[in-house]
Every structure is written in C-alpha cells, then in structure tokens.
Amino acid sequence: MESEHHAMAEALSETGAAMTALASSGSGADAAAARESVVRTQAVVERHLLHEESELEPQLHPHTETPEWKAVEKKLSRQPPGVAGPFFAWLTDGMSDEHRAFLRTLIPAPVVTVLAKVFGRRYNRGIAPMWR
C-alpha cells in the first residue's frame, strides 16, 4: 500500500504540473499532455482503491463495532463542512445505488446531500468532470 500511495503522489504531482503548463500556455499540445496525465493518474488511483477495497475492507469490517472504531467515526463526524463537503462529494461521485443505500444507513440522506452538493460544490464543478 505504501508504494501505491507513493505512486499516487507522483501521479498527482505530474498531473498538477501538466495542468499548470496547460493553464499557462493554453496550447493544444499541453491540453493533450494534461489529458493523458489525468488518465494515467486515474488509473493509478483506481488501481489503489480497488486494492484497498479488496484487501483492507474485509479486514476492517469485523472492527466496525469496536469502541476504537466508534472513536474514529466520532472524530471524522466532527469535521467542518468545508472538509466534509468535498469528501462526501468525492465519496458519492459515481457511487452505486447499493452503496448509496448503505451510506444512508450510516448518515441521513439529507446530511450527505447538503454536504456533497452545497459544501462540495467546488469538487463537483472543478474536479469531478476531470474524472469523466
């Protein structure tokens, strides 16, 4: 996992540089390079997330009712809207109906909607379209 996190950081850095070059020049070549970089970064991130889901989620699940995990959830629930909003916008972006139904068992749907749509507006406008 550590090497995957390193690869994601490198890919994100590369994409950031490509986007900066595009913003500076506006050239077709820089646009193509930025697009290719985003595609590569998406592949690196998706590979890592699939790995986490397949290997870590099954190990985490038996601990979700422990006091230690409840303390983590409590800490996470106290994030300011400016932090929680972009997180929920990202989390719910492209989420399946099955996963959305599960999320509603943990957090009321109106809370997720307000956080994701209102406080996650910047993600929805600027980041989400890049992944599509």
Residue 51 in any domain: the answer is: yes
DSSP string, 61-117: GGGTTSHHHHHHHHHHHT--HHHHHHHHHHHHTT--HHHHHHHHHHS-HHHHHHIII
10-residue averages of pLDDT along the chain (132 residues): 94 96 96 96 95 90 91 88 94 94 93 95 90 70
Question: Is the domain of 84 the same as that of 40?
Answer: no
Question: Is the domain of 73 the same as that of 103?
Answer: yes
Question: Is the domain of 47 the same as that of 70?
Answer: no
Predicted local distance difference test score (pLDDT) of residue 5: 94
Residue 35 in any domain: the answer is: yes
Predicted local distance difference test score (pLDDT) of residue 108: 93
Residue 132 in any domain: the answer is: no
Please check whether residue 48 is in contact with residue 9, taking contact to mean a CB–CB distance below 8 angstroms.
no
Q: CA of 27: how far to CAs of 18, 21, 56, 100, in Å?
A: 11, 9, 42, 40
Question: Is the domain of 119 the same as that of 70?
Answer: yes
Question: Is the domain of 70 the same as that of 59?
Answer: no
* Domain finish residue from 25, 46, 63: 63
Residue 53 in any domain: the answer is: yes
Task: State the residue range of the domain holding 47.
Answer: 1-63
Please check whether residue 8 is in contact with residue 16, taking contact to mean a CB–CB distance below 8 angstroms.
no
Predicted local distance difference test score (pLDDT) of residue 77: 84
